[in-house]
Structure 1
Amino acid sequence: MLLAASTLAFPAVPANAAGDQGPDDEPVIVVTGTGLPDTPSTPAYDTQTLDRETLVSTASGRIEDALSAVGGFQQFRRSDSRSSNPSAQGVTLRALGGNASSRAQILLDGVPMADPFFGYIPFSAIVPERLGSARVTRGGGSGPFGSGALAGTIELSSADAGELGLFDGRALANHRGETEIGATLVPRLGAGYVAVSGRWDRGQGFFTTPAEQRVPATARAAYDAWSAQVRAVAPLAPDIELQARVLAYRDDRTLRFRGADTGMEGHDGSLRIVGRGRWQFDVVGYVQARNFTNTVISSTLFVPTLDQRNTPATGIGGKIELRPPTPGNHVLRLGLDYRRASGELYEEAISVVTGAVTQSRNAGGTTSDFGLFVENDVTLGNLVLTGGVRADRWDIRDGFYTARAPSGDVIAADRYPDRAGWDLSLRGGAVWQAGNDLQFRAAAYTGLRLPTLNELYRPFTVVRLTTRANASLRNERLEGYEAGLDWTVLPGVSLALTAFDNTVKNAVANVTIGPDLRQRRNIDAIRARGIEANAALSFGRFELAGSVGLTDAEARGSGVAAALDGRRPAQTPRWTAGATASWRPADGALVSLTMRHVGLQFEDDLESDRLPAVTTFDAFARVPIGGGLAVILRAENLADAAIVTRNQGGSIDLGTPRTVWAGLALRL
């Protein structure tokens, strides 16, 4: 009711800026659906922005595929959200990974998207067609983004009514008979609008198991996922707007064996009020209700061994940022944010002989973080200086682990001590505009990440390998610095280059402690040093854009983790690179070819199992045929390269083989 009333209270009047006077001296209302504008210091940190065209024109139609255009972007595994376990969908940048939790913060219109229990990103719920842009900031510490942004921040912004049009829909199928159907309807209501969208993806999937390792119980990676969203944007005053979102999704997958079914679901809601007047402000509040289920199948007898039947989790939080009026050469940011994550798992161990439940387990807890931050930019001619400080009050509490026999007798009843503390983070940087076409930048920063509930309390098994939880994990701390340049070499030719040195102390890693046995442990550090480069060329209707990341990352360990000292962190490539050549032969038409390369990785902390380097090629074509209708053609992994996504003692999983899509898109 509030949205409807505020929308209809202000007429839609074309204008150049909010607060201008329209006909009859009425204030002109411009609704953007975005947050506050960038500050002068934004270029001080290594950023790369992907536009809407880049996000919606991938061969797979997945947001994680679009983000992989950024050199240094890395998921824990090489498989996408159709054939991976959701709990492995962690995201990092700059080779600061090593386990499945996200060390990069992903925000959707200012709201963190990480799962409250696991820390994974629900990629299948984030539909590229709903987005207007994605800005990736590699490194940079926590700053005003909240704790958790050790490796960087990925800010996803929704498309506005102008970008979406009244209706935007598409329907595609591939040569295996799998389908992708999605649509968005955007009616304008006065000066505001409502975007109602849905997407449904389903298919039999492909065999992730190589042909020579298949058994009668081997199954395709079938998937069935839907995501529905309503987003409304309305003015509350000429320079204040309200943004509201409701998101619901579910994703079911089968992994490797029949009966190895995994599911995730979520119901998210958020409200955001943005003020762009003399006193600028951005207020966000959200609630997230998530769940995860998983059935583990024995890799030798091919019967269920574990039923992770329920993992309910709740995330609540918000942020208040204020930019008060300051002298012309200053931009001051004051704010606070809060996030609370609670959840627990319910699972049953199952006898492979009788099929009866042998043990019931329940574990969980709560973590929270309250942050205060201050940041100021000052512009001195061609030089911009920035500095900020952040204080986090964190706590880890209510941790428990209970195991019961089928009779109800207690086998284990552990209660873990509550912990709390303060941590201080700093960041600062400088940007010098050396000329119209060249700028230099440098930055240094520290940051914080709390261990997830999954790392603290949930053990898991993949094939024969068991990884134990660790309720005593300490917080991760980042220290880093970087320097780089942005250079427009010629009109239409640009280059960005960054050198960095980042160290995560107390890094959480899966440490081998016995045969087929690991435990999450804090190791001394993960240090990553490297170079990132972006380049773009644009000549008329032809464009070429590329990004590359070269990272020398090594783990530092002592004691039980001494064996991994000096080794590369698990799942961490030295090289990542991508390039896309695109041609627009006519208005609305697009043909593109994308190359991506991921270097050699190791499955484990001891570098015993290799994931070979792989280069893939994708293609995309959009051909308008009139009346807003267009033919869409897509091809994933054109050369049918073997993408090894898991290798545990020779037991291998593979990523997406050659896949060809065709369909229609309609925009009105």
Structure 2
Amino acid sequence: MTICALAGGVPVAQAQESELTVIGQPLPPSAAQGAYSSQTLGRDALMAAPSGRIEDVLGNVAGFQQFRRSDSRSANPSAQGANLRALGGNAASRTLVLLDGVPMADPMFGAVPWSAMAPERLGAIRVTRGGGSGAFGAGAVAGTIEMESAPRGSLMQGEAAVNDRGESSLTGMLSPRLGAGFAQVSGRWDRGAGFWTTPVDQRVPASAKARFDSWSASARAVAPIGTDMELQGRVTAYDDHRTLRFAGANSHASGEDASLRLIGRGRWKFDLLGYLQDRGFSNITISATTFRTSLDQRQTPATGLGGKLEIRPPVGGGHVLRLGADWRRAQGDLSEVAYNAATGAVTAYRNAGGRNEDKGLFVEDDWQQGPLTLTLGLRADRWSVDGGYNTARSAAGVVTQDLRHASRADWAVTGRGGALLKLADGASLRASAYTGLRQPTINELYRSFSLVASGVTTVTNANPLLANEKLEGYEAGLDLAPAPWLKLSATAFINRLGNAIANVTIAQTATTITRQRQNVDAIRAKGVELAASVHAGAWSMEGSMALTDSVVRTSGAMNGMRPSQTPRVSANVQARWQPAKGWQAVLGLRHVGPQYEDDLQVFRMAPATTLNAFVQAPLGHGASLILRGENLGDAAVQTRYQGANSIDLAAPRTVWAGIRFGG
């Protein structure tokens, strides 16, 4: 048996004709993938993250952002949505994140559980900027992030590391052969007393470090069925505890996911996938004025179900035809208790929830004829929103609210198309146009929340009447490789996100800000993405930059303003030295421009530039010394700014040392 992988950046082992080849990967992308702006992060990049976290790896893609600049040690788990091209503005993902074809966003919040996806379990990540659902499924209005599990490597792999604050990280993977297939069983545990997110001059006795304690475990098996079919199964479980800003402000996220996938690699290629997600979340909010509990989100169970069937008939003539259907269903329910932050008395018991569903049909044809490749795809989605409710009871149990929201359903048609023209060796032009669809999350539809900072209460109300977001986008790009050691890329784009969901300020006093989730007319983003890489022997350097002019178009006060949490510029550059097998040193610089905390551009967060490093040195017998450095310049990276007296910060300078083996 020979194990191999087809993902970009992952080595490919060729099988002898008489051997059975077990791949453990999806069907390969067609040549038309090059018509869209995409970037592949390979195994080397995954294993050299300064923080050892997957969102840190994705930070090397200019334009990638989460709702906040903090990572999965100190961010609230419900606010970790993934976005591209400055189309952000709230905590839900506008980018479709897939792991082995399965959507990873939380069914309730639309946030991504980054702590459940360890870099060492992955073989490659392909980031496609721009929308267009195509065969990916609905939800890709800002782009798609496709993560693929690692192929089978050595029997045992692992890493143990500790940092200068005494925090620890422990990972391990066992990859035995199973007959003609293989299995992968892995685990990860991260814990620490945390770092101060509160600046020194704002700390009070109730202030606390961002303590974290999280683990995740995954089991994956790949087995051949006959000579050209392969069964892939995966189960994952994770548990994540965090504290943010104040003692007692604890959050807990957990989940169990399972998926089964049947891949056919014969003449009639196919991909049949089914999955189940069971997620949970709880969160305690502490008043920044009285330091008492103001809200206890006791339970937020959510489930996701889905499946996909894709068939590629052998049509010939340079065509790759993709036909298929997919289905997704999300259900979430919230149970919370509100308190009087001054007295600690219960003021209300609240429940909310609902269901979203999407049934899609898609067809896409990629045609390659000489130097020209064309692609065209259409989707039809039958979407529905139903079962929505909001109920509330007083402290005495008297019903004060009992709302049942009307069900809605309709059809939506989206599509995408593109062209790739190879002008000569090392030079190609590409252009594409696309439309996309995203349903509002259950959280956006039904869950309201409030925060108290600097004596000001900010209330954000849900909106059960939210309409779907609709994207229209156009882009053109040039890729050059004038020499074997040099690659250059430039992409210009215009995206318009209609019915964009934003947190809109509707009333404001000296002590209270009231916002509501609303559909604004549009967010229009236009910009340029640049990338370059240079290779010279053991040395290499690569970098990327995204320059984006993003504005809100609406009849309200937000018109002409930049969406909240969206910088105009983001850039990164990495220098890498690999003098021999097993040796590696990486130095990276990352910059994010200023961005606004709020919709009316009152609270401006300062730009941030961080210096990061990674070193690996072989020790012999398959072991290596690992050194990692985060934010080596100790920059004060603001993650939340609601006035000079209410600031949160990302991780300070952190230095890690550890041992890696088998990787």
TM-score of the pair, normalised by structure 1: 0.95
Aligned equivalent of 2:243: 254
Q: Which amino acid aligns with 2:66?
A: Q
Secondary structure of the residue aligned to 1:506 is strand
Is 1:396 aligned with 2:389?
A: no
Q: Is the 8 A contact 1:174 1:660 kept in 2?
A: yes
Q: Which amino acid aligns with 1:481?
A: Y
2:216 pairs with 217, 222, 227, which one? Answer: 227
1:662 pairs with 633, 652, 657, which one? Answer: 657
User: Structure 1: how far apart are the matches of 2:3 and 2:516?
Assistant: 60
Q: Is the 8 A contact 2:3 2:23 kept in 1?
A: no
1:545 pairs with 542, 547, 554, which one? Answer: 542
Secondary structure of the residue aligned to 1:507 is strand
Aligned equivalent of 1:280: 269
For 1:191-590, what aligned pairs fall within 5 Å after superposition? Answer: 191-463=180-452, 464-515=457-508, 516-558=513-555, 562-590=556-584
Q: Which amino acid aligns with 2:519?
A: N
For 1:123-162, what aligned pairs fall within 5 Å after superposition? Answer: 123-161=114-152
User: Structure 1: how far apart are the matches of 2:280 and 2:640?
Assistant: 25
Cα distance 1:308–1:33, how it changes in 2: closer, same or farther (>3 A)?
A: same
Cα distance 1:627–1:426, how it changes in 2: closer, same or farther (>3 A)?
A: same
1:21 CA displacement: 4.5
Q: Is the 8 A contact 2:4 2:13 kept in 1?
A: no
1:19 CA displacement: 9.6
Deviations 1:256-315 (A, max 9, x none): 000000010000000011111000001110000001100010111101011000000000
Deviations 1:430-460 (A, max 9, x none): 0001111111000000000000000001112
Q: Which amino acid aligns with 2:612?
A: D
Q: Is the 8 A contact 2:393 2:399 kept in 1?
A: yes
1:350 CA displacement: 1.3
1:566 CA displacement: 0.4
Of all paired residues, the percent bearing the same amino acid is 56
Deviations 1:556-592 (A, max 9, x none): 111xxx1110000000000011111010122101111
Deviations 1:612-660 (A, max 9, x none): 1111000100010100111100110000011011011331000110001
User: Structure 2: how far apart are the matches of 1:259 and 1:319?
Assistant: 42
Q: Is the 8 A contact 1:18 1:239 kept in 2?
A: no
Aligned equivalent of 1:3: none
Q: Which amino acid aligns with 1:374?
A: V
Q: Which amino acid aligns with 1:411?
A: T
Q: Which amino acid aligns with 1:473?
A: L
Aligned equivalent of 2:9: none
Cα distance 1:437–1:83, how it changes in 2: closer, same or farther (>3 A)?
A: same
Secondary structure of the residue aligned to 1:456 is helix
Secondary structure of the residue aligned to 2:445 is helix
Q: Which amino acid aligns with 2:540?
A: E
User: Structure 1: how far apart are the matches of 2:148 and 2:46?
Assistant: 11
Cα distance 1:415–1:18, how it changes in 2: closer, same or farther (>3 A)?
A: farther
1:14 CA displacement: 10
Aligned equivalent of 1:78: 69
Secondary structure of the residue aligned to 1:66 is helix
Alignment length (residue pairs):
648
Q: Which amino acid aligns with 1:332?
A: L
Aligned equivalent of 2:8: none
Q: Which amino acid aligns with 2:459?
A: T
Unaligned runs of at least 5 residues, structure 1:
1-10, 23-27
Q: Is the 8 A contact 1:18 1:29 kept in 2?
A: no
User: Structure 1: how far apart are the matches of 2:217 and 2:629?
Assistant: 26
User: Structure 2: how far apart are the matches of 1:12 and 1:382?
Assistant: 33
Q: Which amino acid aligns with 2:410?
A: G
Secondary structure of the residue aligned to 1:473 is coil
For 1:11-90, what aligned pairs fall within 5 Å after superposition? Answer: 21-22=17-18, 28-90=19-81
Q: Is the 8 A contact 2:4 2:22 kept in 1?
A: no
Q: Is the 8 A contact 2:529 2:544 kept in 1?
A: yes
Secondary structure of the residue aligned to 2:22 is coil
Moved over 3 A (4+): 11-21
Deviations 1:59-88 (A, max 9, x none): 100100000100110111000010100111
1:352 CA displacement: 2.5
Secondary structure of the residue aligned to 1:524 is strand
Q: Which amino acid aligns with 1:106?
A: V
User: Structure 2: how far apart are the matches of 1:388 and 1:352?
Assistant: 54
Q: Which amino acid aligns with 2:249?
A: A
Q: Is the 8 A contact 1:13 1:191 kept in 2?
A: no
Deviations 1:181-219 (A, max 9, x none): 000000011221110000000001111011111100000
1:55 CA displacement: 1.0
1:12 CA displacement: 6.1
Q: Which amino acid aligns with 2:367?
A: V
1:18 CA displacement: 9.3
Cα distance 1:18–1:190, how it changes in 2: closer, same or farther (>3 A)?
A: farther
Q: Is the 8 A contact 1:204 1:220 kept in 2?
A: yes
User: Structure 2: how far apart are the matches of 1:21 and 1:454?
Assistant: 52
1:406 CA displacement: 2.4
Q: Is the 8 A contact 1:13 1:29 kept in 2?
A: no
User: Structure 1: how far apart are the matches of 2:110 and 2:99?
Assistant: 15
TM-score of the pair, normalised by structure 2: 0.96
1:118 pairs with 109, 117, 122, which one? Answer: 109
1:121 CA displacement: 0.3
User: Structure 1: how far apart are the matches of 2:582 and 2:504?
Assistant: 51
Cα distance 1:494–1:12, how it changes in 2: closer, same or farther (>3 A)?
A: closer
